[in-house]
Amino acid sequence: MADAVPSKRGASEEVAICHPGGHGQILPIGGEWEDNLNTRARVFLYLLGMLHCFMGMSIVSDRFMSGIERITGIQKTRRIPGTPRYKTGAVWNATVANLTLMALGSSAPEILLSLNDILKRNFMEGKLGTPSIVGSGAFNLFIIIAISINAVPNGKIKYIKEEGVYAITAFFAVFAYLWMFLIVSVITPNEVSVWEAVLTFLFFPLLVFLAYLADIHVLTIENIKAFVWKRKDERSEGQEPKTWLEKFRSAHALELLESSKTRNVKEPEKN
């Protein structure tokens, strides 16, 4: 095997797999004959093999996604309490299914490839891992969003159905880049600690939980405002108003309540 060439970082760079002395986890299969083969011939053969593997991965991924679509498409008929009527609805919540099963199916090859790379290098940083995560996220943020925008026909307007879910997923998508930078370059440079890995993993169920609350309209701006005002009112009970706004609210509380009720009542339509 050819000697490793020292890099600028002080670590050793592996010999390219297509050059004499280069090897991988499986290749070269042909032993010494393949090792002494012309470099261009090895590039061509390995390229064919890689394309063949890609086709196999696409077939497996399509089967997996088809199975997930069948699972998420299951519907169940439930009886409406207090009425003789029945309602048919999906067993899986659409938001939860998209963030868990669908995401797992589309990202399974990337996850397995990064896992294989980290195991092969005995949990040392390789050429995959962080770059693959950043590259995949950048592709989703820029290319997929651009295609989705351009797919809307001219003259038609499309709206985001669940703005709360969109806002939460967008926040976590951007936060993931910042978090990766912090754990790799700031908190523990060139090292990922166990607690960082565990905390990174726990962000995922947090994302799913918050997105689910937003999907069922529990986590909304109106509810957050109502909760904050309620806490402020509870704290201010028994205390005399200090600011001019608190004095105004306490002096005109009844008028404000009546005006808010009248705004919510719709006037009868005039013919």
Domain ranges of the chain: 224-262
Structure tokens, 260? 């808010």
Provide the pLDDT for residue 42: 86
Q: What is the pLDDT of residues 115-157, one digit of tens each?
A: 888 888 788 777 777 788 778 878 888 888 888 888 888 888 8
Q: Distance from CA of residue 96 to its chain's centroid? A: 11
Structure tokens, 132? 């693959």
Structure tokens, 223? 């509810």
What does DSSP assign to residue 91?
S
130 CB-side CA count, 13 A: 16
What gap in Å lies between CA 246 and CA 223, rounded to an integer?
22
Concatenate the DSSP letters of all residues of 122-135 into one string: TS---SSSHHHHHH
In sequence order, what are the residues at sequence separation of 6 or more whose Cβ sits closer than 8 angstroms to the Cβ of residue 241? 247, 249, 250
The fraction of the chain above a pLDDT of 90, given in percent, is 11
Sorting pLDDT into bands at 50, 70 and 90, what band is 233? low
Identify the H or E element spanning 88: strand 86-90
Q: Is the pLDDT of residue 98 over 80?
A: yes
Average pLDDT of the segment spanning 55-73: 84
Average pLDDT of the segment spanning 51-80: 84
Q: What is the pLDDT of residues 167-190, one digit of tens each?
A: 998 899 889 889 988 988 899 888
Sorting pLDDT into bands at 50, 70 and 90, what band is 111? confident
What gap in Å lies between CA 145 and CA 150, rounded to an integer?
9
